Amino acid sequence: TEAWRPDDDGRRGAAGPVRVRVPAKVNLHLGVGPLRRDGYHELNTVYHAISIHDELTARRGDTLALTMEGEGAGELALDDSNLVIRAAHALAGYAGVMPHARLHLRKQIPLAGGLAGGSADAAAALVACDALWGTGLSRDELAGIAADLGSDVPFLIHGGTALGTGRGEAVSPVLARPSSWHWVVAIADGGLSTPAAYRELDRLRDAGTAGVPLGSTDALLAALRQRDPRVLAATLGNDLQDAALAMRPALADTLKAGEAAGALAGIVSGSGPTCVFLAADASDAERIAGELDTAGVCRQARTAHGPVAGARIV
Ligand code: C5P
């Protein structure tokens, strides 16, 4: 990495490119409370950052421009509607600088997958532009800007494992050993709309056909403090899962196939359609991923571990 120094014309910030890596997230517990008057649901969630990463490179430029490669290239708009561009504008506005940068995104996190890929990219843009422009904000200041961009964005600044409350934007870290847990991530064909999943849950609840809401996060938090994945497996849960299954019934086959392959537990990640499975160890995760690929119940099965760090300069 290059030193941060004023460049030839004395501007603050980094003269050379700034590269930021940002993880995907899963919700180990996603408790969805009532619909609020602002259109969001009150959440009680435990976020967990896993080792599937996007990478954002920021370079000096005379305008703000975004290019991308990898997952979703050609499908995702690169204009002002893109969360990366919105993040750059939000930071520039807050810090009182011109929003000039050439941004390049390398995506591995699928679009609309329930892994917070768009939120991750917004978090990466905040961290990258803060370094590029030399605005020097604290992580808490960045998380404050992040909250206006999306409910999951503050968590992706912090990473690790964390409790999320409010609409998910209020995060407090949960102490956990890095890379303690091994996961299999079954990526589906096509995405699911997060607002549609929340609406479907409301509909199921109004009709009295939704499952019993998850209780407190106490059992999960206790399970995270010990080392046995079997104990953790019994505490995973997602109130949005019934909604995702109603919208995409085939996900039931994916969950069944993972459990038949020896996963300790499987849940839909966030609003889906990605399913995540807890494995006993790294080699078991490899084996389960292989079986899921062979079974043809997902587009791609990948292994990952967690927790990992949030958006970081590399
Ligand atoms: O915060 P974010 O923009 O990522 O949320 C996307 C959508 O998901 C919201 O517009 C809302 O429909 C739904 N949502 C919700 N309750 C939350 C978070 C998100 O209903 N706590």
Query: What pLDDT digit, counting tens, does each position of 31-51 carry?
Result: 999 999 999 999 999 999 999
Distance from residue 112's CA to the centre of ligand 1 (Å): 13
**Is pLDDT of 123 > 70?**
yes
Predicted confidence (pLDDT) at residue 6 exceeds the cutoff of 90: no
Q: Which two tokens stand for residue 73?
A: 């290239």
Q: Is 117 annotated as a binding residue?
A: yes
120 is in an annotated binding site: yes
Q: Taking residues 132-154, what's their average pLDDT?
A: 97
Distance CA 270, CA 115 (A): 7
Contact 83, 68 (CB under 8 A): no
Res. 96 pLDDT band, cuts 50 70 90:
very high
Residues in the chain: 314
Catalytic residues: 25, 152
pTM of the predicted model over 0.90: yes
Q: For residue 278, say whether it is annotated as part of any ligand binding site.
A: no
pLDDT band at 3 (very low <50, low <70, confident <90, very high): very low
pLDDT value for 176: 83
pLDDT at 175: 86
Q: Can you tell me the distance from the alpha carbon of 111 to that of 7, in angstroms, rounded to the nearest whole number?
A: 36
Which pLDDT belongs to residue 179?
Answer: 81
- State the pLDDT at residue 9: 53
- The rounded Cα 204 to chain-centroid distance in angstroms is 25
pLDDT value of residue 8:
47
Query: Which atom of ligand 1 is found nearest the CA of 152?
Result: 4
Contact 201, 208 (CB under 8 A): no
> Do 18-175 and 181-306 agree at the fold level?
no
**pLDDT at residue 264 greater than cutoff 70:** yes
CATH architecture of 181-306: 2-Layer Sandwich (3.30)
Residue 112 known to bind ligand: yes
Tell me, using a 6 A CB cutoff, whether residue 273 lines ligand 1: no
Which residue has the least CA distance to atom 4 on ligand 1?
A: 150
| pLDDT at position 79 | 94
Q: Is the CB of 258 under 6 A from ligand 1?
A: no
In a 3-state reduction of DSSP, which class is residue 32?
strand
Segment (H or E) for 250: none
Task: For residues 191-196, give the mean pLDDT.
Answer: 97
154 lines ligand 1 (CB under 6 A): no
- The structural domains of the chain, with segments of one domain joined by +, span 18-175, 181-306
User: Atom 19, ligand 1: which residue's CA is nearest?
Assistant: 40
Residues 266-306 have pLDDT tens digits of: 999 999 999 999 999 999 999 999 999 999 999 999 999 99
What is the percentage of the chain residues whose pLDDT exceeds 90? 93
Do 98 and 132 contact (CB within 8 A), yes or no? no
**What is the complex's ipTM, to 2 decimals?**
0.98
Q: Is the CB of 43 under 6 A from ligand 1?
A: yes
CATH class of 18-175: alpha beta
State if residue 74 touches ligand 1 by the CB under 6 angstroms criterion: no
How many CB atoms lie under 10 A from the CB of residue 221? 17
| Among 36, 194, 201, 239, residue to substitute to test ligand 1 (most atoms within 8 Å of Cβ) | 194
| SS3 state of residue 163 | strand
- What separation in angstroms does the CA of 162 have from each of 15, 54, 88, 144, 272? 34, 20, 25, 16, 20
> pLDDT band at 228, cuts 50/70/90?
very high
